[in-house]
Amino acid sequence: MTFVFEDIDDVEMERRRSVVEPLTDAVRDLVDAVIRTEVAEGEIPDVTAAVRAVTERLRSRQSDGPYGVRYTRAGTGMPWGNPAVGVRNAVAPPMRVQAGDDGLRWADVRLGAAYEGPPGLVHGGICALLLDHLLGEAAGADGTPSFTGTISVRYLRETRLGPVHLEARTDRYDGPKKFVTGTLSDADGPSVVADAVFVIPRWARATPPQEAPQ
């Protein structure tokens, strides 16, 4: 596993983000349009060729492998290829994670046609993806690294497409384990609950935290 440090400050990072984000947003919009289009079939091959031409242009200079997680000089993470939050990844809605008090992590996301499972409803696996990611962020709020051991996702009822709200926080510690819980809510209230156990790796256990993060 390689972590890449880019020799840039956080101002430069924000500038770079502002360049790439409109492109990713445009591709998100294209993903939605491909699902919903009803143009005549005869047009599709031509549209396909236009998409391939754009891709070829972007591939004229590209990294060999996946994006990885990069860091600025100040240590700010740039998980820009991430499928939940990545500003370069059109698979991601994206979820923009916010920090609250006491280690709370939360996000408001709008989920459209690309995240549909049953008609008009969010795919249960998309709820699991977003909760898995957010609970991971909440586990990391205390600064101690940890890895997901188990996550249990309980579906209270269906979740409607549209705006959803997510929250997560670390509830308690037990030795090298962190117990993290979270919820996903649609306009009618909580619809999915998640409980996860995160494990602090041996090399990071020197000073195990005893309190929930502040």
Identify residues 60-79 at the interface with a copy of itself (CB under 8 A): 60-63, 65-69
Considering the complex, state which of residue 102 and residue 165 has its C-beta at the smaller distance from a copy of itself: 165
Residue 132 neighbours by CB under 8 Å, 6+ apart = 84, 148, 151, 194, 196
Identify residues 119-138 at the interface with a copy of itself (CB under 8 A): 119-121, 123-126, 128-133, 136
Tell me the window of 102-110, 117-125, 172-180, 201-209 that interacts with a copy of itself (CB under 8 A): 117-125
Q: What are the angstrom distances between the C-alpha of 26 and each of 37, 43, 88?
A: 16, 20, 11
Instruction: Report the alpha-carbon distance of residue 141 to residue 134 in Å, rounded.
Output: 11
Taking the CA atoms of 201, 207, 211 and 214 in sequence, report the sign of the dihedral they define: negative
Residue from 9, 29, 171, 188 in contact with a copy of itself (CB under 8 A): 29
Identify residues 38-57 at the interface with a copy of itself (CB under 8 A): 38-41, 43-45, 47-48, 50-55, 57
Tell me the window of 6-14, 99-107, 151-159, 201-209 that interacts with a copy of itself (CB under 8 A): 151-159
Instruction: Report the alpha-carbon distance of residue 204 to residue 170 in Å, rounded.
Output: 18
Instruction: Report the alpha-carbon distance of residue 140 to residue 149 in Å, rounded.
Output: 14
Residue from 72, 78, 88, 170 in contact with a copy of itself (CB under 8 A): 88
